[in-house]
Structures are given as structure tokens and as C-alpha cells.
């Protein structure tokens, strides 16, 4: 009998890649999405079955997990641009409460393995440090706290039930079909709307979607992963200026000979903060977005490499071309 897997958030960037990979390996894939797409099956589908459930808003039917060997839980509310208070209920109900409900159903159905896709944001911002899983500082924002509490629920379920559980904390994910901040940056550079930032020597960790999928399969299948939490990166560090120049190269844009001074960027961020307070919503350039462009987000993933034999195969410089190509195909 084929092994079977449930992938929640299957219609997202990572979810579709994961479903496709599992199906290619001979796994029977059941996709869980918030609403059914127009086409739910067919020879080109990346899943075998599809079910709809608005996690956090409606109960999870027992049929969703029946006959499943492994659950890859991707579904969640991501770190949004909206004010945090507006997102608070969604963070708790989807990221924490729905994860707990899914685990209860999984244990009742005797699912063998449960892999939770968390985030490095489940830890406090390390600032300019490079940190690993031993970094014990807790996040202060609601999104990070909801992910951290979900992680604790996952590990607790593993202690109390006969189920293999593992948390993954990916750094920023890139690859063909990427969305979110990485897509915004590629689009902005391609259109000439991204400022030529100075090289401030910041260090940012990222991971290719393919490598993340390999890590997830190792986490599900390797007994040494049971009850563990792992950071996942591609093992390299990148500066925002490096990313900018590589995107220029692969989108046919000339790299400007000038840089926007860091003081000017900070001044714009200060103005953006004031405008955000007046408008009651965040401005596109503010202190938070500026810090993401010039600050570091450095994480160490040696633990998963040493314990599970994870070896990342991709890097950002080589992958920007495929991201730019997939963006051009969608234009």
C-alpha cells in the first residue's frame, strides 16, 4: 500500500512544491486548502485528493486525517503588513488553536508522523547575532508567540501520544514561484523601483524551497528527529546589497553606480512612521521595513545537518535566475 500524506496549506508556494515532490516519490497526497480551486484533480494535479477546511473558522472533520501516515502542517497566518492588533485573533486561532485541533485528530486517527512548519520568528529577533536552536529568548510580537506556542503544543503531543513529531523553523524561503517579501524585491528591482542600497554588511539567512522539502521529509522519516525543533537554512549568509546586484544581473538591469545613503533611508523610515501614525496604518517605508532591508537575520542550521544528515543543495545566487524566469512567465 502506498504511504499517504496530508499537506495543509497545500495550495501555497511551499505546499505545492511539497505535494509535487511527495507525489513523485510515490506518496498518496491529500491536500487541505481553505477553499477548493476551480480544478481539483487531473493528470497534471500535484495531489491525489483535495479537501477544504477553513482552519480556525470551522472544525476539522475526522475524514481529513483518516488513513493518513504523515501530516505536513504548513497552513497558517503569515506575518502580515497589517497592524498586529488587527491580526491577533487570526494568529491565535489559526496558528495555535487549529494546530492543536489537528494534532488531536491526528492522534485519534493514529497518524504516525507530524511535521510542523514553524518559523525562525518563533524566537526573539537576534539582532546582529547569529543564533541556533539554543537561543532561548522568546518573541515579543503576537505572530512569533503564536508560532512558539504551536511548537510547544506539537512537542507536548509527542510526549503524551505515540506519534512522531518535529518542528521546523525555516528562514526566508526562496525558489521558483516565490511569494512574499522576496517576490516584492524581485519585482521592485526589475521595475526599477528598488533603491540601490549601500552594502552595510548585514547577514541574512535564507533557504531554497527544494532544500526545505528535503528537510521536512528527513524530519518525518528519521527517528532521531522525534521531539526535536530544527532551524533550516541553506548554510550561507547574504547581504541585501548582494541580493540586489544578483537580481539586477538576472533581470537585465544595470547596477547603478550610486547608492542611497543609509541616513536618507532612515530619514524616510522616520517620515513613514509619522505618516503611519496619522493614517492609522503602516506606510510602505517605515522603521520595520527599513530594518529588514539593512538589518541582519542570521541563523545557524548545523543541528539538522549533524543529526539528520541534511545537506542543502541550492543557493540564492544560482536560484535568482529561476525566480526571475518564473516571474516573467507569470507576467
CB atoms within 10 A of CB 7: 29
Give the pTM: 0.93
Cα–Cα distance measured from residue 124 to residue 141, given in angstroms and rounded to the nearest whole number: 9
Q: Which residue has the cell 512567465?
A: 329
**Whether residue 328 has pLDDT greater than 70:** no
What pLDDT score was predicted for residue 286? 77
> What contacts 326, CB < 8 A, 6 or more positions away?
176, 177, 178
What is the β-pairing status of strands 4-8 and 70-73? parallel
Residue 56, SS3? coil
Q: Is residue 329 pLDDT above 70, yes or no?
A: no
Average pLDDT over residues 244-262: 90
Quick check: 116 and 150 in contact, CB under 8 A? yes
Distance CA(226)–CA(139), nearest Å, equals 24
For residue 91, how many other CB atoms are within 10 A of its CB? Answer: 26
Q: Give the phi and the psi of residue 113 in degrees, each rounded to 5.
A: -135, 145
How many helices (H) and strands (E) in the chain?
Answer: 11, 11
Task: List the domains of the chain with CATH numbers.
Answer: 4-178+205-234+299-314 (3.40.50.720)
Among candidate residues 234, 13, 214, 231, the one with its CA nearest the CA of residue 122: 231
Query: What is the distance of C-alpha 215 from the center of its chain?
Result: 13
Mean pLDDT across 225-240: 97
Closest CA to 331 of 187, 203, 225, 215: 187
pLDDT score at 72? 98
Residue 43, judged by CB atoms within 10 A of its CB (0-12, 13-18, 19+), counts as exposed
Residue with cell 553606480: 257
Instruction: Reply yes or no on whether the pLDDT at 181 is more than 60.
Output: yes
Instruction: Determine the pLDDT at residue 18.
Output: 98
The answer, yes or no, to whether residue 330 has pLDDT greater than 70, is no
Write down how long the chain is: 331
pLDDT of residue 157: 96
- What's the rounded Cα separation, in Å, for the pair 262 and 244? 15
* CA atoms of 118 and 98, how far apart (whole Å): 13
Least confident of 186-195, 218-227, 268-277, 314-323: 268-277
**H-helix or E-strand spanning residue 60:** none
Q: Quick: pLDDT tens for 46-96.
A: 999 999 999 999 999 999 999 999 999 999 998 765 666 778 999 999 999
CA dist 46 and 24 (Å) reads 9
Residue pair 114/153 in contact by the 8 Å Cβ criterion: no
294/296 Cα distance (integer angstroms) = 7
Neighbour tally for 115: CB within 10 Å: 27
Could you tell me if 247 and 200 are in contact, meaning their C-beta atoms sit under 8 angstroms apart?
A: no
| DSSP state letters, 197-232 | -------B-EEEHHHHHHHHHHHHH-GGGTTEEEEE
Number of other residues whose CB lies within 10 A of the CB of residue 193: 9
Amino acid at each position: 500500500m502506498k504511504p499517504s500524506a496530508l499537506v495543509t496549506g497545500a495550495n501555497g508556494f511551499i505546499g505545492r512544491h511539497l505535494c509535487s515532490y511527495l507525489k513523485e516519490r510515490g506518496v498518496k497526497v491529500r491536500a487541505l486548502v481553505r477553499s477548493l480551486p476551480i480544478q481539483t484533480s487531473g493528470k497534471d494535479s500535484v495531489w491525489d485528493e483535495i479537501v477544504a477546511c477553513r482552519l480556525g473558522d470551522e472544525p476539522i472533520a475526522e475524514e481529513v486525517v483518516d488513513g493518513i501516515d504523515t501530516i505536513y502542517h504548513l497552513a497558517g497566518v503569515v506575518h502580515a503588513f497589517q497592524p498586529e492588533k488587527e491580526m491577533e485573533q487570526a494568529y491565535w486561532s489559526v496558528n495555535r488553536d487549529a494546530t492543536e485541533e489537528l494534532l488531536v485528530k491526528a492522534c485519534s486517527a493514529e497518524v504516525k508522523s507530524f511535521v510542523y512548519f514553524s518559523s525562525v520568528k518563533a524566537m526573539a529577533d537576534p539582532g546582529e547575532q547569529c543564533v541556533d536552536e539554543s537561543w532561548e529568548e522568546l518573541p515579543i510580537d503576537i505572530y512569533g508567540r503564536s508560532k512558539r506556542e504551536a511548537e510547544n503544543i506539537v512537542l507536548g503531543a509527542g510526549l503524551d501520544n505515540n506519534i512522531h513529531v518535529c518542528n521546523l523553523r525555516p528562514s526566508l524561503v526562496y525558489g521558483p514561484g516565490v511569494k512574499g517579501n522576496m517576490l516584492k524585491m524581485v519585482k521592485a528591482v526589475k521595475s526599477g523601483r528598488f533603491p540601490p542600497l549601500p552594502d552595510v554588511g548585514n547577514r541574512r539567512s535564507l533557504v531554497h524551497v527544494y532544500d526545505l522539502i528535503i528537510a521536512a521529509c528527513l524530519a518525518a522519516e528519521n527517528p532521531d528527529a522525534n521531539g526535536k525543533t530544527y532551524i533550516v537554512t541553506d548554510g550561507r549568509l547574504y547581504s541585501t546589497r548582494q541580493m540586489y546586484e544578483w537580481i539586477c544581473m538576472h533581470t537585465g538591469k544595470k547596477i547603478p553606480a550610486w547608492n542611497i545613503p543609509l541616513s536618507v533611508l532612515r530619514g524616510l523610515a522616520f517620515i513613514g512612521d509619522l505618516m503611519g501614525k496619522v493614517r492609522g496604518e503602516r506606510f510602505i517605508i517605515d522603521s520595520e521595513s527599513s530594518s529588514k532591508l539593512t538589518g541582519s537575520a542570521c541563523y545557524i542550521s548545523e543541528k539538522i545537518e549533524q543529526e539528520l544528515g541534511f545537506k542543502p543543495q541550492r543557493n540564492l545566487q544560482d536560484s535568482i535566475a529561476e525566480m526571475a524566469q518564473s516571474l516573467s512567465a507569470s507576467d
